[in-house]
Amino acid sequence: MAAFLVRRLGAAILVAFGVATIAFLLIHLAPGSPLIGSGENPYVSAELIAQAQRNFGLDQPLWVQYGRYLANLARGDWGLSFSQQRPVLEVFRDALPNTFILALAALILDFVLGIGLGVYQGLHPHSRADRFWSRVTLTLYAVPSFWLGLMLLLVFGKTLGWFPVGGVVDPVLYPLLPPAGQLLDRLRHLALPAVTLGLIGAASTARYQRAQVLEVLGQDYVRAARARGLSETAVALRHVLRNALLPTINLFGLALPTLLSGAVLVETVFAWPGMGRLAVEAVARRDYFLVTGIAVLAGFLVVAANTLADILVHLADPRTREARRPEAHRARFGASRPAQPAGGLPPTTR
Amino acid sequence: MVGPENPVSPLLAVSRLSVAYRSAGGLARAVENVSFELERGELLALVGESGCGKTTLALSLLRLLPEPVALTDPESRIVFEGADLTRLDPRSLRRVRGGGMALVFQEAGSSLNPVLTIGSQLVETVRAHQPMARRRARDRAVELLTAVGLDRPEQRLEQYPHQLSGGMQQRAAIALALAGDPKLLIADEPTTALDVTVQAQILDLLSDLRHRLQLAVLLITHDLGIAAGLADRVAVMYAGRLVETAPTQQLFARASHPYTAALLQAVPRMDQDAVLPKPIPGQPPVATAWPPACRFHPRCPYAWARCLEEEPPLLAVGPQHQARCWLVDEPERPGPAGINRCA
Amino acid sequence: MNAPRQLARLWSHPRLRLGLAAVLALYAIALLAPVLAPYDPTAQLDLQAGRLLPPTWAHPLGTDQFSRDLLSRLLFGARLSLWIAALAVLVAVTVGTTVGLAAGLAGGWVDTVLMRTVDAALAIPRVFLLLVTLALWERGGLLALVLVLGCTGWFGTSRLVRAEVQSIRQRGFVLAARALGLPPWRIAVRHVLPNVTAPVIVTATLGVGNTVLIEAGLSFLGLGVAPPRASWGNMIADSQPFLATAPWQGIVPGVALVATVMAFSLLGEGLREWLDPRTR
């Protein structure tokens, strides 16, 4: 276990290092240096350029700059945000909690709805309900998050007036409300953006979960459990679900990049002051170090989530407890394929 | 063999069992019109090449085939201890599964749930058939593991399937099959996935358990050699059909279906030097397109016009010995040694 | 098997047939946009009385706040979105296949460096990668957009191809070719490439739908297709301030997006089922 942890954390650090390198290269290999030709950029003053030149040593050779950039990053110095005139880290401190709350709420919705629906569909394959929900999830899968957000906003915000149309809290009323009212106000603001992200995530989670349940249903040990006279409930709960939910832990690591990407658009739609909206503003203002910092941070978060998911799978699956990687044999056609397609021959027809 | 002169009904009587799968290539008639009986304590070996429908037959006996894909003919009857399993309600059916008939799978490794300990799977099964305290079920689990010859049973209870070797996994799977005190054990190629030495041990175990627990066994195998060593009676299956059944001695002395004869010649023999096993010519047919009339005729060296016109019924060769071959009807024609000797 | 029979078999797969028909129809619309569109998509027809008109006979989908005809913009938007996505995926597949083949066949440190880089690049959510790049490329027009989308989209493909190469390498015919002393590039082109084609076609098809979505998102943020050119993403962005008064302006391009992405999902899933040897 200790050896696995060390190996996994080592790999995570290596990937995080790669993330920083890619970001560095993107800045420096782009046409023109980030600070040269920024005369037309109203947010960059002469001192800021001087400061950044000191931080990043833009006069030095590339490899020296690279070393200094990594050293700064390791010390927690993410550079300066031109547009906000303060350190990038400070900007993060304001925006990150908002994105965190949104992502957490969306993740809970995503997993509760997605797993519930996927398990239900998997246990009743090809039923009328299954076919109906498959169509729903296939459609949702194709819906752009920002458009879904706008449509929810149109129906539940503007037309019905059930939810506010943007922001984290009501700018006027919030300070006057009692604590319970303040919490309610926050939740009301959170509802639409979280549902937007959560629904779209739930669609793919449900499709994945359904395929997992079907795959496990086709396994010999499920048939063997039935052959021993166990009740359908016992088979479903102990034999099917335990195995079908294991790989879903990996989704937790995979859901984060999707959520963060979705957040960029959904935060913009709902004027949610998080990392996503920050990134869009930073791009619009050519705030290079802020944009890069956000990308690096997003990369770090994803690496952390994947590492955590790996460790969780490792803990939950008795087979991997003694150092065995989950098999990669499904690489060819992806993992989302059901084991037994409709109308196909079942695996045992010998 | 049920009749007025034999008031004791057999343990299992299967009649006119037909199973088909819906598949992309059309309807696959995996098992067609199979009838046989099994007495208490009897060991019947069901022999045939892969793809002939043996596993489908085994699964259909316990009604474990995937419902929307596999269709069981409504004429089929599976009478076990007097109850027709094809019309049993789910609850009673569950009692038969594991409690009356139990199944041992070809690959023990995949028939054991990888995320549950051996002990928890055993305890769960014991308690499904006989409500009892967890602690007593645990004692019973230790007994079962001892009965199948696993050493340090207490320790095995806490282990996960992947921590056992292939042979030990198959022993654990047999223990699981015995957990509900079945009267019939269906063993589907129980040794195919194992090393030769381990194979012999598992076969010994099956034979030993059978006598100790007075179990009836339906042993499914592609290997006539295994059948010869253990079985009281042998049923040979080809292309979804039973083609010959006989007491073991009789079958080996007078194989009357050319397919059985060919299978016998494909078994390597230690007692005769310089006799190389002969492969059966041609490919086994596929279930979506069985050959017309006698299904073996495209591969049969003795086939003549009649074999292409009409499928033979099971014809009596001797007492308890039947073969689905027109040669039984016309013994003067050239055929495998068994038929000529019989004639 | 001969080609007509292959095609007949392809057409007999219901999901594939639907997806193929939908995608072909979409590209037909994209090609014929200049013929089908009733107006110039960028023409401001009547700034006095023709703004935010609801659907009428003259304007089947209404007009936007600059009195441009929405149907014309939708059709020209399809043209842009579909070609950008297709070209970007072409770039991504080419780069990804090359990198995957190189990593899989070379092995050793080349493989390690390439695959670690891919790991790192996959860790950064794609939209953030796009934001960094687009911030630096200073709106280089459509070509830049295609290149940026292509260059951030190849990581998955390279992994897939590498995994495939690794499994094929162990198979008899490649071992035999190596034993005969054929040079690695020849083994790659003659033996490995044909085998990786099927899974790559599937991911590419699904990738086009995905890229349409991403391009729409970028254009929605004002970072993709720049106005006054019409793209579904910037049409939705334009509709935002008038959502309550002229909702059709935002609904129509969104529905078009959903339909397009679904068409590519259907085609991709259909191809996967059709090409997957296990379901044949």
Residues of C in contact with A23 (CB under 8 A): 124, 132
d(CA C97, CA A68): 35
Output the pLDDT for position B245: 94
The pLDDT of C94-111, averaged and rounded, is: 88
pLDDT above 90 covers a percentage of chain A that reads: 26
Q: If you measure CA to CA, which chain B residue comes closest to A227? A: B97
In B118-256 the beta strands, taken as DSSP E runs, fall at 184-188, 216-221, 233-238, 241-247
**C-alpha distances out from residue B90 to A287, B64, B83, B94, Å:** 68, 12, 13, 6
Q: Is the pLDDT of residue C233 over 50?
A: yes
Q: Beta-carbon neighbour count of residue A68 at 10 Å? A: 16
CB B16 within 8 A of CB B72: no
> Which subunits have 3 or more CB–CB pairs within 8 Å of chain C?
A
- % of residues, chain C, pLDDT over 90: 19
CB of B51 within 8 A of CB of A349?
yes
pLDDT-based confidence at residue A150 (cuts at 50, 70, 90): very high
Predicted confidence band of residue A293 (pLDDT cuts 50, 70, 90): confident
For B71, the token pair is 């269709």
Q: Do B193 and B108 form a contact (C-beta atoms < 8 A)?
A: yes
Of the candidates B21, B52, B64, which has its C-beta nearest A345's C-beta? Answer: B21
Reported as a single tens digit per residue, the pLDDT across B157-202 is 999 999 999 889 999 999 999 999 999 999 998 888 788 888 889 9
With contacts defined as CB-CB under 8 Å, which chain A residues touch B27? Answer: none
For residues A306-323, give the mean pLDDT.
77
Cα-Cα-Cα-Cα torsion A254, A255, A257, A260, nearest 10 degrees, comes to -170
Judged by DSSP in three states, A52 sits in helix
Q: Could you tell me the pTM of the whole model?
A: 0.81
**Angstroms from A180 CA to nearest CA on chain C:** 31
Locate B224 and state its tokens. 């006539």
Q: Which of A141, A150, A155, A308 to mutate to test the interface with C (most CBs of C within 10 A)?
A: A150
Contact C132 A27 (CB under 8 A): yes
The pLDDT of residue C6 is 66
Are the Cβ atoms of A230 and B94 closer than 8 angstroms? yes
* pLDDT, position C216: 93
Q: What is the pLDDT of residue B219?
A: 94
Each residue of A60-106: pLDDT tens digit? 777 887 888 888 888 888 877 877 888 889 999 999 999 999 999 99
Closest residue in chain A to residue C206, using alpha carbons only:
A142
Residues of B in contact with A126 (CB under 8 A): 68
DSSP letter at A86 equals: E
Query: Phi first, then psi: what are they for A9, rounded to 5°?
Result: -70, -40
Q: What ipTM does the predicted assembly reach? A: 0.86
Classify the C-alpha dihedral C120-C121-C126-C129 as positive or negative.
Answer: positive
Say if residue C5's pLDDT is above 70: no
Looking at chain A from residue 136 to 195, which residues have their Cβ under 8 Å from any Cβ of chain C?
138-139, 141-147, 150-151, 153-154, 158-159
**Best to test chain B binding among A126, A128, A221 (most B CBs inside 10 Å):** A221
At residue A328, the pLDDT reads: 33
Using DSSP's 3-state secondary structure scheme, residue B100 falls into: coil
**Chain C residues lying within 8 Å of A295, measured CB to CB:** 124, 128-129, 131-132
Nearest to A349 among B30, B64, B116 (CB): B30
d(CA B34, CA C112): 58
Residues of B in contact with A346 (CB under 8 A): 21, 65-66, 69-70
Please give the average per-residue pLDDT across A328-338, as a whole number. 31
